[in-house]
């Protein structure tokens, strides 16, 4: 009976042996092809690492804030991977005491990946130090960078002026204020208000802040400037068809000073200086105010002297 069984098995193995070998060959080729098609790899750098401490505790030190994650999958799934949705979440809810912990990072802690399989994290270990969480209220100091194009920053006000910090007790003891993220005033010419985030008190540990943003009002005042034109001629404004033949002025030239913003003064042309002689009696002396006309109305002018003695004649003087 054993002999018959062996004969039967030998017949099965040798019957259509060529077809069977071909089938085995095609199966191996297909397996390698499928494996190759689904074995593309890509490494996503700097995937954010989020640690969830237990209730009543805060993180006072975390050795890594981001890790590199290597994924494996098909070429199409790798192409569709959205690295912005990735997150490595470390849950420490089972921890009951403050202290230092070393945690092994695993692929199953990676969130936000679809169609691909995370299989390697670098670095593979994380050190976390926990402390009891406390609360502290501190003032907010807006941080200003740059310089206005004209003028200067006169005041900076934060609303609200104070925020609540929640974080590790020992770290909070050293915090007496927090700053906003930098507010750039470079090239500004007028005051403005901006809603801006409040920066973390440290780069090595994070605090929970309430609120996390503030309104900052920046007041910019223009720096007063002056520009002077010396010995400007004083002109006479007369009626187009009047009987005036000649005009005498004393003085005939004056000094003009213009006050305003530096950028406005730089663009000004020489001012027009005149006295109004349209309604004057002939052959008489008149003391008239000297008028200064400038192209820009955002400036103030002064003239020395401020008036002129004018004599008008009905006949041209020899």
pLDDT tens digits, residue range 213-262?
A: 999 999 988 777 889 999 999 998 887 766 666 888 899 999 999 988 77
Q: Is the pLDDT of residue 23 over 70?
A: no
Among 248, 232, 236, smallest CA distance to 317 is for 248
Does 95 share its domain with 44? Answer: yes
Does 120 share its domain with 161? Answer: no
| pLDDT-above-70 percentage for the chain | 84
pLDDT score of 148 = 86
Does 141 share its domain with 128? Answer: no
Q: What is the mean pLDDT of residues 49-72?
A: 92
pLDDT score of 316 = 55
What gap in Å lies between CA 280 and CA 33, rounded to an integer?
A: 108
Within a domain: 23: no
| Residue 241, burial from CB neighbour count under 10 angstroms (0-12, 13-18, 19+) | exposed
Does 44 share its domain with 127? Answer: yes
- Per the CB < 8 A criterion, the answer to whether 66 and 47 are in contact is yes
Within a domain: 302: yes
Does 213 share its domain with 172? Answer: yes
pLDDT score of 66 = 94
pLDDT score of 268 = 87
| Residue 168, burial from CB neighbour count under 10 angstroms (0-12, 13-18, 19+) | buried
Does 44 share its domain with 114? Answer: yes
CATH code of residue 260 = 2.170.120.30
Within a domain: 193: yes
Please give the tally of structural domains in the chain: 3
Domain extent at residue 112: 40-132
Does 66 share its domain with 122? Answer: yes
| pLDDT-above-90 percentage for the chain | 52
Does 238 share its domain with 166? Answer: no
CATH code of residue 208 = 2.170.120.40
Q: Is the pLDDT of residue 174 over 70?
A: yes
Does 160 share its domain with 117? Answer: no
What does pLDDT average to over the chain?
85
For tokens 């780069």, what's the residue?
A: 203
Does 55 share its domain with 99? Answer: yes
Within a domain: 81: yes
- Per the CB < 8 A criterion, the answer to whether 218 and 183 are in contact is yes
Cα within 13 Å of Cα(193), Cβ side: 6
Give how far Cα 10 sits from Cα of 1, 22, 95, Å: 14, 18, 64
Within a domain: 58: yes
pLDDT score of 226 = 86
Does 107 share its domain with 153? Answer: no
Domain C-terminal end among 132, 154, 189: 132
What gap in Å lies between CA 49 and CA 86, rounded to an integer?
A: 9
Domain C-terminal end among 201, 221, 241: 221
Q: Is the pLDDT of residue 32 over 60?
A: no
Within a domain: 185: yes
What gap in Å lies between CA 290 and CA 303, rounded to an integer?
A: 8
Q: What is the pLDDT of residues 112-154, one digit of tens each?
A: 988 899 999 999 999 999 999 999 999 999 999 998 877 789 9
Domain C-terminal end among 112, 132, 152: 132
């Amino acid at each position: 009976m054993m002999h018959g069984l062996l004969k039967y098995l030998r017949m099965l193995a040798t019957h259509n042996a060529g077809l069977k070998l071909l089938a085995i060959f095609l199966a191996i080729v297909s397996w390698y092809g499928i494996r190759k098609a689904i074995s593309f790899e890509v490494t996503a750098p700097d995937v954010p690492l989020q640690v969830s401490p237990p209730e009543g505790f805060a993180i006072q030190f975390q050795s890594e804030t981001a890790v590199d994650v290597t994924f494996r999958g098909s070429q199409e799934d790798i192409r569709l991977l959205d690295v912005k949705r990735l997150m490595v979440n470390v849950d420490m809810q089972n921890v009951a005491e403050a202290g230092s912990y070393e945690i092994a990072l695993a692929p199953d802690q990676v969130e936000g990946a679809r169609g691909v399989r995370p299989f390697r994290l670098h670095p593979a270990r994380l050190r976390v130090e926990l402390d009891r969480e406390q609360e502290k209220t501190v003032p907010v100091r807006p941080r200003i960078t740059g310089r206005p194009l004209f003028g200067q920053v006169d005041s900076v006000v934060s609303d609200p002026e104070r925020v609540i910090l929640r974080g590790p007790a020992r770290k909070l003891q050293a915090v007496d204020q927090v700053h906003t993220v930098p507010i750039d005033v470079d090239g500004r010419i007028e005051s403005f208000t901006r809603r801006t985030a409040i920066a973390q008190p440290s780069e090595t540990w994070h605090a929970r802040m309430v609120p996390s943003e503030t309104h900052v009002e920046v007041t910019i005042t223009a720096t007063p400037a002056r520009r002077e034109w010396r010995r400007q001629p004083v002109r006479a404004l007369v009626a187009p068809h009047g009987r005036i033949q000649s005009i005498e002025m004393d003085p005939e030239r004056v000094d003009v000073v213009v006050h305003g913003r530096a950028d406005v003064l730089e663009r000004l042309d020489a001012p027009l200086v005149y006295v109004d002689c349209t309604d004057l009696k002939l052959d008489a002396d008149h003391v008239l105010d000297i008028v200064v006309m400038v192209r820009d109305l955002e400036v103030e002018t002064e003239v020395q002297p401020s008036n002129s003695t004018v004599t008008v004649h009905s006949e041209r003087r020899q």
